[in-house]
Amino acid sequence: MTELKSMIAGAGTGPGGATPAAFPSERHDHAHCVDQALSAAEEICAERGARLTPLRRQVLELVWRSHEPIGAYDVLAKLQREDTAGEDGRPAAPPTVYRALDFLLKHRLVHRIESMNAYVGCPHPDSEHSGQFLICRTCGNAAEIDDPAIRRAIGEHARKIGFTIEHITVEVAGLCPKCSAQHAD
């Protein structure tokens, strides 16, 4: 599992939990990340007694292959192009995809990017966390960071005012390194 984290995030973390390779270069071997994510998912589901069906596995693979946030209907379109049947043998339909995504969310194998209504693979599915996301407003790519200090600060401020947190979503819009360099020209 540690190999998956370092493969996706880069070798080591920077200040505050950010990773130097959060937005991988174009030379990045993403196929290896996809393979590692699928292996990790199989391992995690086996440990948790959860059933990673062929369709759930394929949805997870499509999310990871995308390497950027992907919407449920885009997943559905790819499944239909690949002529994938749902659990009942009929062509994949929106409810089937949403059920698969709900399963993947429940087991922390993917995250939902709320502002984009899209999904990304989770590089650390073996740990309970609420990642924060840096989202490029130009190319749409998103990088997950997991900074405990951010979670603590939100929790402390909420407690001070008597607010009960049910769910934390931190999404920051800006420019990824590639788009930032292009805008600087």
Per-residue model confidence as pLDDT tens digits over 108-143: 999 999 999 999 999 888 888 778 999 999 999 999
179 is in an annotated binding site: yes
The pLDDT value recorded for residue 8 is 40
User: 84 and 104 in contact (C-beta within 8 Å)?
Assistant: no
33 is in an annotated binding site: no
The pLDDT value recorded for residue 130 is 76
The pLDDT value recorded for residue 23 is 72
In what side-by-side order are the strands of the sheet with 142-145? 142-145, 132-136, 170-174
Domains and CATH numbers, the chain: 2-8+23-184 (1.10.10.10)
The pLDDT value recorded for residue 89 is 63
The pLDDT value recorded for residue 167 is 87
122 is in an annotated binding site: no
Under-70 pLDDT residues of the chain: 1-22, 24-25, 28, 84-90, 185
